Amino acid sequence: MKYMVMMNTMKASEGVPVWPKEDLQAHIAFMMGLNKELHERGELVSAEGLSFPNQAKLVRAGKDGRPITDGVFPESKEFLAGFWIIDVDSPERAYAIAARISAAPGAGGTPLNMPIELRPIMSGPPPEMV
């Protein structure tokens, strides 16, 4: 079963985390290590990090169908920072992966305990059997 794992962290105001270099390195190493592990277990479909909120745009179609873009968001708005698509054997395994991501190390190596959103990816229907 496939899931999308979404990491909603940065408030629009925060931008790049202001952490000591070694904490930043530890955080990056954690993410790389996690991706490597998911790949080695044959569970990783894809993983992408997203640009900072200052690059984000809201787009709507105007009356003539042309794009109308809206930028610069209120500082309180939370953004999607990155996502994974995983293919795992059970919901429990998906929860475990999400919990690992949630506890990624932050400043001083303290777990961030970020809220991680986990959503099943829609599939085809099962066959008409019992």
Partner 1 sequence: MTKPWDATSEQLLRELAPQVLGSVARRFHDFAAAEDAVQEAMVAAFTQWPQEGVPDNPRGWLIQVACRRMTDHVRSEIARREREMAVAAEAETFSPTLEIEPDMDPDDTLILLFMCCHSALTPSSAIALTLRAVGGLTTAEIANAFLVPEATMAQRISRAKQTIKASGVPFRLPSRHERVERLPAVLHVLYLIFSEGYVSSIGSHLQRLDLAREAIRLTRSTKTLLPDNPEVAGLLALMLLTDARRAARTGPDEELIPLDKQDRTLWDHAEISEGVELLTAALSKASVGLYQLQAAIAAVHDEAERVENTDWPQILALYELLKRVAPSPMVTLNHAIAAAMVYGPGEGLELLRALDGDPRIAGHYRLSAVRAHLLEKMGDHEAAIKHYRIAAARTTSMPERNYLTAQAARLADD
SS3 88: coil
- Contact between 129 and partner 1 per CB under 8 A: yes
- Contact between 69 and partner 1 per CB under 8 A: no
Helix (H) or strand (E) holding 10: strand 2-11
User: Residues 7 to 66: which contact partner 1 by CB under 8 A?
Assistant: 39-46
In this chain, which stretch among 14-22, 25-33, 82-90, 99-107 interacts with partner 1, using CB under 8 A?
82-90
User: Residues 84 to 123: which contact partner 1 by CB under 8 A?
Assistant: 87-89, 120-123
State the Rg of the chain over Cα: 18
Greatest alpha-carbon span in the chain: 57
| Residue 92: CB minimum distance to partner 1, A | 12
Cβ(27)–Cβ(61) below 8 Å? no
